Structure 1
């Protein structure tokens, strides 16, 4: 993993903590949440305040995420909102933390100027030792305050101020006035500078979890399903309509189709679908070339085309399917029949313009693991696990490609691959849709094997 770390592709964009004052605040929050503390004088934080250095020191990578369920967090600065979430056990956690910081940024900025803010993503489930217990997670609520309880104190002071304004004789209540003065010394003027964090809760209908080998749960769709990365037989009975695993390719394809969750890349509005297909073909060639011991250091697209010619008789069906689709799109080649059983099928899809597009792209990345760029962008856990198994030749190529092609413009790359243009105004006399619009370039998904 050294190459990844050196290029900022792993543990990248973490927030450094080097000030003694900030270290002391972090320790105060850490003791407040966990009863533990660190002896380190400098370390780095992710968006939740987790530090990989402290995790190693404590020999506990879950010191802020007990049992991997109710994630706690420590905010020393609002700049943490740009950091990644390391070792995420739920796909929604980073988004929740980011939204919480964005919504309360002015208040959090003021609070973290004097103290750390500590909190928790709370749900009613504390143990997910069985897969079925994951379905009890329905709602996540963010609870947060400074270690000194400034927000709670300010709330109490606000209620006392309301009493002072409304109760008859409050001007003569020395006890009430003394209590207000005492609390005001801790919070400042809450009337001019309110110290309040918005109460935020998030429904958890559709999400991915790392628990039990990896599981995608889609409940808020027309035909709900759970999709396991491992063997679905090991999950036991689940309280959901359908359960699949990665071997159930046709069933997953039908699930995506009936719920309108995915679309063909080649028909997506506003992107160069053929160029994306060619890039995916390059990744397949790189996989083959690396397995043949080829040196891929600094390999360009031209180099990969040459390698593709050299090993043309060994290219896998993923390449053949993508190439056929690219020929159809660019040259009017024969109509490709790429069914859900074909190894290239999921490489030809991306998430439709739906609220859970990130989750769908995550699933598609796991179903098309040779597309190293999508795997890295959409499913970091699967990417790092796969990286550990690759030959050194492929590791070198992948790190160089991501550093050269992705790091320089992350937002632009994501938009080019997964962005959706707003729909065009419908013409008054709309022509009938052609066959491709109705069923995609490979025909309708077959419902039987």
Structure 2
């Protein structure tokens, strides 16, 4: 994973915590949430306040995500809004946290100048012991306050002020006045500077969860279904359940709900270029398995390797090549059914509210397209990367750093035709993390 970290493709854009004041606030919040503390004086945090170094120190990558269901968070600065979310168990968690921070930015900025804000993404499920239990999650509510309870105290002070203004004998109520003065010393002037966080609640109808091998849940579409990434799951409270091997059923599901469109027929893009890039990735994967040298391989190099390993190119490549011949050379229209290995490589999500979720599913169904896998399904990308040969790792890192990161927005617009919210913000190389972070988390210095 060191290659990814060096290029800012993993643990990029985390927020560095290195001041004694912030470390002390973090520990106070950590103790408040889960009764733990860190002895580290320098570490990095994601949008939720999770730190891979602290996770390694505590021996618990879920120290802010007990049972992987109710995500807790620690905000030291509103700068965390641009950070990624590590170890995500639900596809909606980062967008919820990001929206919460943005909607309350002014209030959170004021609060975090004095204390850490600790909170939780709360739902009615506390244990993910069965797949069916995950379907009980309908809404996610954000609860947050400083570790000293500033927001709650401000609300109490506001109620006291209203009482003071409305009760006839309030001017003579020495106890009430003393309570107001004491509370104001902790909260400040809540009349001029109100301390109030918006109460935010989010529907959880369509989502992906990492539990039980990965499950895609689509409940608010005309024809609801669940698609599971592992073994078949029975008795789920939804009309239809498919596995990733049920290709025809998934294709029909996507079509009935009007969730996808064909890349080759999409308007305003160079479909042939997109398909050729996917073909290059497939050639690269085959060549890497054969031990070929892919150091800074160009498109011309990949074309030569494709010719060299022509007999080994899989059906995914053959199907995409037939589409390109139709598009560029007036070749016959290739009949690529949903059972053809190339089928899902030819699709992308239509621009709708669940486009991110659909593109994540398509990435899992077309894993040889390493660019889409990296953009849309980072969890699967990192797991897959760990088992690739070094030749493939070198090429993928070089390609993503050299050709993708230089124009992320342009690449996403070309690939998906709309702003892809699943994409993390601009990542910066984190050379200082190399000594701390190992293949799946921090393995750095302990105190």
1:254: which partner in 2? 252
Cα deviation for residue 419 of structure 1 reads: 2.6
In the TM superposition, what are the counterparts of 1:55-74 in structure 2 within 5 Å? 55-74=55-74
Whether contact under 8 Å (1:281, 1:323) holds in the other structure is: yes
1:331: which partner in 2? 329
How far apart in 1 are the matches of 2:276 and 2:89?
Answer: 33
2:39: which partner in 1? 39
> Is 1:320 the counterpart of 2:318 in the alignment?
yes
Cα deviation for residue 138 of structure 1 reads: 0.6
Deviations 1:87-118 (A, max 9, x none): 10100000000000000001000000010000
Which of these residues, 345, 354, 361, is aligned with residue 356 of structure 1?
354
Cα deviation for residue 175 of structure 1 reads: 1.5
2:293: which partner in 1? 295
How far apart in 2 are the matches of 1:159 and 1:329?
Answer: 69
2:437: which partner in 1? none
RMSD: 1.0
How far apart in 1 are the matches of 2:208 and 2:48?
Answer: 18
2:102: which partner in 1? 102
1:220: which partner in 2? 220
Higher mean alpha-carbon deviation, 141-150 vs 322-331, is at 322-331
In the TM superposition, what are the counterparts of 1:18-417 in structure 2 within 5 Å? 18-232=18-232, 235-417=233-415
Whether contact under 8 Å (1:270, 1:420) holds in the other structure is: no
Deviations 1:209-267 (A, max 9, x none): 010011111111011111011121xx231110000001100000000000001110112
For the residue of structure 2 that corresponds to 1:136, the secondary structure is coil
How far apart in 2 are the matches of 1:249 and 1:236?
Answer: 18
Cα deviation for residue 134 of structure 1 reads: 0.7
Whether contact under 8 Å (2:412, 2:418) holds in the other structure is: no
Cα deviation for residue 297 of structure 1 reads: 1.1
Whether contact under 8 Å (1:350, 1:418) holds in the other structure is: yes
Whether contact under 8 Å (2:47, 2:85) holds in the other structure is: yes
1:436: which partner in 2? none
Whether contact under 8 Å (2:207, 2:217) holds in the other structure is: yes
How far apart in 1 are the matches of 2:359 and 2:141?
Answer: 26
Deviations 1:134-164 (A, max 9, x none): 1001110000000010000111111111111
How far apart in 2 are the matches of 1:68 and 1:294?
Answer: 41
Whether contact under 8 Å (2:364, 2:377) holds in the other structure is: yes
Cα deviation for residue 417 of structure 1 reads: 1.2
Cα deviation for residue 302 of structure 1 reads: 1.2
How far apart in 2 are the matches of 1:267 and 1:175?
Answer: 74
How far apart in 2 are the matches of 1:368 and 1:14?
Answer: 29
Cα deviation for residue 410 of structure 1 reads: 2.0
How far apart in 2 are the matches of 1:25 and 1:245?
Answer: 45
For the residue of structure 1 that corresponds to 2:295, the secondary structure is coil
Whether contact under 8 Å (1:269, 1:420) holds in the other structure is: no
1:445: which partner in 2? none
Whether contact under 8 Å (1:116, 1:147) holds in the other structure is: yes
Whether contact under 8 Å (1:350, 1:364) holds in the other structure is: yes
Instruction: Calculate the TM-score normalised by the size of structure 2.
Output: 0.92
How far apart in 2 are the matches of 1:150 and 1:272?
Answer: 54
2:4: which partner in 1? 4
Paired residues in the alignment total 419
- Unpaired runs of 5+ residues, structure 2, are 420-447
